[in-house]
Amino acid sequence: MVTGVTGQDGSYLAELLLSKGYEVWGVVRRRSSTALARIDHLVENDDALDSSLHLVNGDLRDTGSLLKILRQVRPDEVYNLAAQSDVKVSFDLPEYTADVTGLGPLRILEAIRELDLPSRYFQASSSEMYGLVRDSLQSEGTPLHPRSPYGSAKAFAYYTTRNYREAYGLFAVNGIMFNHESPRRGESFVTRKISLAAARIHYGLQETLQLGNLDARRDWGFAGDYMEGAWRMLQTDHPSDYVLATGESRSVREFCELVFQEIDQPLTWRGIGPEEVGVGPDGRMLVEVNPQLYRPTEVDILQGDASRAGGDLDWQPTVSFQELVRMMVTSDLEVAERQAARENSPSK
Ligand code: NDP
Ligand code: GDR
């Protein structure tokens, strides 16, 4: 059972599980328009249907729906990937974020316990819980100091998962995942926002890119690798929590520079703070800072130590930072090319 199957991670995990011959039950919440773009290729493909992807209606805010699915499916493994996962949005919707991202996991765990299921449970925990970091490299033992309603909700879910393991003997684990990206990343997250904007600028569909804090540093890896790690965590003999990270930290500014290099527009930075801009080789302003995109409290730097996962799970990231950037830009150039073709089509 995979919650959040329509999200970035859910689509990679569904692919991985189907390739291993699993029967996958994906939980989909009700939307006014379809949200299946990331898993269309799994739903529509006859071969994939043979390897069993079932979609069921459910919502992390609705205990009854979770109980019903768990009772019907009796899954061997439950991957809880569903969340209100946007940190900036969590400042606007703190109560909703706490409900979905914090209480949602509790509802699933309590249902597993209540139904006395043998299901193994994976919780998508986040490096955002470290917040105002206490160690220069964050590992499983680093104290938490969340800096957003999202981080606080994830911390609640993290401790709840541990407590259900300790109190009731459930096989329940936290994957403490640092940022992971892909061409399927939501467009509001900074990496995808940058790669898509650069591609659109390349095709003349957009003039500039507005960003917030250029100095924030993140440990960015490839989403597919992190779902491999999630699966490995449920195949061990002893349930435990693991950090998944690359061990490298880069700034938003560096990510931007690499992306614009990929479209042959190397950036030069001018000015400081809110006045800073990135200009292309012909002097055109391509990037500007918009202070409205700053957060009330920021997580300045994240850099993870995944050596425990390396040792116990034999898990390593397989995609380098440079490869990740290239993968995203290549994909977004195709997206922007299609958008440009639509803009220029005579029927428009
Ligand atoms: P996405 O935002 O791409 O996907 C979130 C998923 O949750 C979507 O399928 C969404 O459905 C679903 N969802 C949202 N609200 C509900 C609800 N009330 N009931 C049921 N489903 C709901 O996130 P990612 O794939 O990037 O991340 C997966 C998980 O990992 C999340 O929990 C995230 O917080 C966590 N995480 C992510 C990291 C990252 O860098 N990507 C790092 C660390 C943790 P819909 O498609 O309908 O919106
Ligand atoms: P994050 O990812 O908050 O780390 O959460 P995001 O890509 O949103 O921000 C990363 C950093 O970039 C800075 N930033 C901007 N961010 C966005 N979204 N848009 C901008 O224009 C912009 N300009 C600068 C941010 O301030 C921040 O410092 C992600 C999510 O996937 C969470 O669900 C997950 O738990 C964590 O990663 C680990």
Q: What is the pTM of this model?
A: 0.97
Q: Which of 5, 9, 66, 125 to mutate to test the pocket of ligand 1 (most atoms within 8 A of CB)?
A: 9
Are 165 and 211 within one domain? no
- Assigned domain for 71 exists: yes
DSSP bridge partners of 246: none
What's the confidence (pLDDT) of residue 150? 98
Q: Which of 80, 156, 189 to mutate to test the pocket of ligand 2 (most atoms within 8 A of CB)?
A: 189
- Assigned domain for 138 exists: yes
Are 202 and 125 within one domain? no
- For the chain, list the strands marked E by DSSP: 2-3, 24-28, 53-57, 77-80, 120-126, 172-177, 180-181, 209-211, 217-218, 221-222, 242-244, 250-251, 268-270, 277-279, 285-289
| Cα 329 from Cα 324, distance rounded (Å) | 9
**Nearest ligand to the CA atom of 65:** 1
Asked whether 193 lines ligand 2 (CB < 6 A), one says yes
Are 172 and 274 within one domain? no
Do 180 and 186 touch, CB atoms closer than 8 A?
A: no
Are 237 and 339 within one domain? no
CA of 245 to the centre of ligand 2 (A): 16
In this structure, the strands spanning 277-279 and 268-270 are antiparallel
DSSP bridge partners of 27: 3, 56
User: Which structure tokens are listed for 294?
Assistant: 């700053």
Per-residue pLDDT of the chain (348 residues; tens, 9 = 90+): 999 999 999 999 999 999 999 999 999 999 888 788 899 888 865 455 555 899 999 999 999 999 999 999 999 999 999 999 999 999 999 999 999 999 999 999 999 999 999 999 999 999 999 999 999 999 999 999 999 999 999 999 999 999 999 999 999 999 999 999 999 999 999 999 999 999 999 999 999 999 999 999 999 999 999 999 999 999 999 999 999 999 999 999 999 999 999 999 999 999 999 999 999 999 999 999 999 999 999 999 999 999 999 999 999 999 999 999 999 999 999 999 999 999 888 765
Closest Cα to atom 38 of ligand 1: 179
Tell which of 247, 262, 290 closes a domain: 247
Asked whether 110 lines ligand 2 (CB < 6 A), one says no
- Assigned domain for 313 exists: no
Asked whether 316 lines ligand 2 (CB < 6 A), one says no
Nearest 10 degrees: Cα torsion 168, 172, 178, 180: -150
CA of 128 to the centre of ligand 2 (A): 10
**Nearest ligand to the CA atom of 190:** 2
Are 165 and 295 within one domain? no
Number of domains the chain contains: 2
Are 140 and 205 within one domain? no
Residues 201-242 have pLDDT tens digits of 999 999 999 999 999 999 999 999 999 999 999 999 999 999
- Assigned domain for 109 exists: yes
The CATH number assigned to the domain holding 256 equals 3.90.25.10
**Nearest ligand to the CA atom of 296:** 2
**Nearest ligand to the CA atom of 175:** 1
In ligand 2, the atom with minimum distance to the C-alpha of 294 is 26
Are 103 and 196 within one domain? no
Which residues span the domain enclosing 258? 190-215+251-301+320-344
- Assigned domain for 16 exists: yes
Task: Phi first, then psi: give them for residue 254, nearest 5 degrees.
Answer: -65, -40
Q: How deeply is 116 buried, as exposed, middle or buried, from its count of CB atoms within 10 A (0-12, 13-18, 19+)?
A: exposed
Asked whether 6 lines ligand 1 (CB < 6 A), one says yes
**Nearest ligand to the CA atom of 252:** 2
Asked whether 82 lines ligand 1 (CB < 6 A), one says yes
Are 69 and 7 within one domain? yes
The CATH number assigned to the domain holding 140 equals 3.40.50.720
| Cα 110 from Cα 248, distance rounded (Å) | 37
Q: Which of 147, 217, 252 to mutate to test the pocket of ligand 2 (most atoms within 8 A of CB)?
A: 252
Are 137 and 211 within one domain? no
Are 209 and 103 within one domain? no
Closest Cα to atom 8 of ligand 2: 189
Asked whether 80 lines ligand 1 (CB < 6 A), one says no
Q: What count of Cα atoms within 13 Å lies in the side-chain half-sphere of residue 278?
A: 27
Q: Which string of DSSP letters, residue by residue, matches 68-123?
A: HHHHHH--SEEEE--S---HHHHHHSHHHHIIIIIIHHHHHHHHHHHTT---EEEE
| Cα 41 from Cα 20, distance rounded (Å) | 17
- Name which of 32, 22, 39 is nearest 75 in CA terms: 22
- Assigned domain for 280 exists: yes
Asked whether 102 lines ligand 1 (CB < 6 A), one says no
- Assigned domain for 311 exists: no
Are 150 and 209 within one domain? no
Asked whether 213 lines ligand 2 (CB < 6 A), one says yes
Q: Cβ–Cβ contacts within 10 Å for residue 81, how many?
A: 26
Tokens 């692919």 correspond to 15
CA of 6 to the centre of ligand 1 (A): 8
Are 70 and 42 within one domain? yes
- Assigned domain for 33 exists: yes
| Cα 255 from Cα 159, distance rounded (Å) | 33
What's the confidence (pLDDT) of residue 50? 53
Q: How deeply is 258 buried, as exposed, middle or buried, from its count of CB atoms within 10 A (0-12, 13-18, 19+)?
A: buried
